[in-house]
Amino acid sequence: MGTMETETQNVQHRSFSIKLWPPSQSTRLTLVERMTKNLSTPSVFSKKYGLLSQEEAMENSKHIEDSAFASANEHYEREPDGDGSSAVQLYAKEASKLMLEVLKRGSRTQNGIEAHVPEDVPAPRETFFDISRGRRAFIDAEEAEDLLKPLSKPGNSYAKICFSNRSFGLEAAHIAAPILASIKGQLTEVDLSDFIAGRSEDEAIEVMNIFSKALEGCILRSLNLSDNALGEKGVRAFDALLKSQSNLEELYLMNDGISEEAAQAVSELIPSTEKLKILHFHNNMTGDEGAVFIAKVVEGSPALLDFRCSSTRVGEEGGIALVEALGKCSNLKKIDLRDNMFGVEAGVALSKALSSHAGLTEIYLSYLNLENEGAIALVDALKENAPLLEVLDMAGNEITLEAAPALAACIAAKESLTKLNLSENELKDEGTILIARALENGHKQLKEVDLSTNAMRRAGARVLAQAVVNKPEFKLLTINGNYISDEGIDELKEIFKKSLDLLGPLDENDPEGEDDDQGSNEDEDDNEDGLGSQLKNLEVSEDN
């Protein structure tokens, strides 16, 4: 058991260099798997006490892990200012102790006795309360009282609540308020997304006020207020709750009608964002002026790991303010700015901001009007930084062959790349072949490539297909909406004959293509030698 304990502690310290507690769900599942193996395979302890069947070992391991987690989490909550290391140690120690007790007791399936959890292993304590499942509907006072009964039970351990997908009116809110107030001292995660749907503005504002006052003073790690059409009035209705939050690590305000005024209210009401790691604004009406206020929030968030501000109507001025603020968040791993109107200058500003983001793993920059100048500046910056980049998304930016050498040089340098999206650009065959050559060698983790709608013809499609088809992890090549001839389609199917599911649909492909100043598509499809000679000087180079 000592080995298991040491290994578990090592896993915790490796996985949580930023925050040791709580463990992720994947880490908890890993521990269950390890305990199951220890309980069901021969060891020095099994020689002494015997083995459990695989099924019995799994059942016991789940209960042991739940119990160990509950004990460690309770310990952590009593001293939340620590780094979590003592909770990690208790988690491993408790799991080891309970596992040994199970082995000592021996298998309960021997002699036809049905397996069951030992009486003295504590039953797991629920920590997550969720009413979001099922039909999206209004909730009245009677149903609220019935649904929320578990939260009213003395000594419950609920630390996370999700009220999403159920619409609270005034009567239901008045039922919920004292219940929430009674447990707010133990809450760490609150999800109130989509909880006032279909209510009048006046009623919705009052409901938000009631919930805000009931939860005021709770010390939250995560708060989700998405899908509530908040606007400025809605944001300010949550002033009591927001003003009391100085330890937030995750804040979600997506699809909330966050205008300039609402963005200003957000920046005013949250007292501190120094611990903020995830900040998501998606599908709002923030605009340039609102983006300036969001930039202030970002600027005060040095620990930020994941920032999303997609589909928020932000133009050049707001874009520049945002990316300059992002430049001060050197811990960022994921940036999502899709579907805004940044333009070239904001793209160039972002390229300068990325110079200190060595840990960046995902960047989503599609539909930002970057054009060649902005795209080249960005991929040049990414090439020199972000060595662990896994996702590069630059779809819909009017990128042409001019930017292809810089793109290819960046891609060639990113061995960790798993997903590449350059769809809805104008790379044509020449640009596509440069990208394909960049992917040919290495890139063993590559899973998805999307170059749909790039005016690509047979030659480019063939070279790209050959570059990715044998990658060990590859899942999908999407090249729909191009100008690939019928012969080219047959060629693609032949290349993917052993794994046709890796080739995406081609129902929007146009074999006839468009009129082209350089000649007919038949010339481009069939004259492979001519195309090859044109591409001789378009090599991928580290100096590009």
Helix axes 404-412, 371-384, angle to 10 degrees: 20
* Overall average pLDDT of the 456-464 stretch: 98
401 compared with 64, residue with greater pLDDT: 401
Give residues with Cβ within 8 angstroms of 419, minimum separation 6: 390, 391, 392, 393, 446, 447, 448, 449
Q: Which of 156, 161, 159 is nearest to 176 (CA)?
A: 161
CB count within 10 Å of CB 139 equals 23
pLDDT band per the 50, 70, 90 thresholds, residue 308: very high
Q: Is the confidence at residue 115, as pLDDT, over 90?
A: no
Q: Is the confidence at residue 523, as pLDDT, over 70?
A: no
pLDDT cut 90: percent of the chain above it: 69
Question: Do the beta carbons of residue 452 and residue 422 sit within 8 Å?
Answer: no
385 compared with 46, residue with greater pLDDT: 385
pLDDT score at 44: 61
pLDDT score at 494: 97
Residue 534 tokens read as: 């044109």
Residues 17-36: tens digit of each pLDDT: 445 777 876 678 788 888 88
pLDDT score at 113: 38
Q: Domains (ranges, CATH) in the chain?
A: 25-105 (1.10.246.200), 399-512 (3.80.10.10)
pLDDT score at 524: 43
pLDDT cut 70: percent of the chain above it: 83
Which range among 97-106, 345-354, 375-384, 525-534 shows the weakest confidence by mean pLDDT?
525-534
pLDDT score at 351: 97
Question: Residue 394 and residue 334: Cα distance in Å, rounded?
Answer: 14
pLDDT score at 82: 63
Which range among 10-14, 232-236, 317-321, 414-418 shows the weakest confidence by mean pLDDT?
10-14
Which range among 43-52, 96-105, 285-294, 398-407 shows the weakest confidence by mean pLDDT?
43-52
What are the CA-CA distances from residue 329 to residues 65, 224, 324 (Å)? 36, 22, 10
* Overall average pLDDT of the 268-287 stretch: 96
* Overall average pLDDT of the 37-62 stretch: 73
Question: Residue 38 and residue 46: Cα distance in Å, rounded?
Answer: 9
pLDDT score at 124: 57
Q: Is the confidence at residue 9, as pLDDT, over 90?
A: no
pLDDT score at 535: 37
For 164, list phi and psi in degrees, rounded to 5: -65, 155
* Overall average pLDDT of the 177-191 stretch: 97
Residue 319 tokens read as: 């874009």
User: For the whole model, what pTM was predicted?
Assistant: 0.74
* Overall average pLDDT of the 509-516 stretch: 76
pLDDT score at 110: 43
Residues 423-448: tens digit of each pLDDT: 999 999 999 999 999 999 999 999 99
255 compared with 93, residue with greater pLDDT: 255
pLDDT band per the 50, 70, 90 thresholds, residue 46: low
pLDDT score at 78: 65
pLDDT band per the 50, 70, 90 thresholds, residue 511: very high
Mean pLDDT of the chain: 86
What are the CA-CA distances from residue 212 to residues 239, 247, 312, 429, 486 (Å)? 7, 17, 26, 57, 62
Highest-confidence range of 38-42, 76-80, 339-343, by mean pLDDT? 339-343
Q: Is the confidence at residue 519, as pLDDT, over 70?
A: no
Q: Is the confidence at residue 543, as pLDDT, over 50?
A: no
Q: Which of 201, 138, 193, 194 is nearest to 171 (CA)?
A: 138
Question: Residue 25 and residue 12: Cα distance in Å, rounded?
Answer: 12
pLDDT score at 47: 59
What are the CA-CA distances from residue 429 to residues 85, 403, 455 (Å)? 55, 13, 7
Q: Is the confidence at residue 276, as pLDDT, over 50?
A: yes
What's the first-to-final CA gap in the chain, in angstroms? 56
Q: Is the confidence at residue 254, as pLDDT, over 60?
A: yes
Three-state secondary structure string covering 298-342: HHCCCCCCEEEEECCCCCHHHHHHHHHHHCCCCCCCEEECCCCCC
pLDDT score at 222: 97
Q: Dihedral of the CA atoms 484, 489, 495, 496 (nearest 10)?
A: 110
* Overall average pLDDT of the 223-238 stretch: 96
Q: How many residues does the chain have?
A: 544
Question: Do the beta carbons of residue 243 and residue 220 sit within 8 Å?
Answer: no
pLDDT score at 34: 84
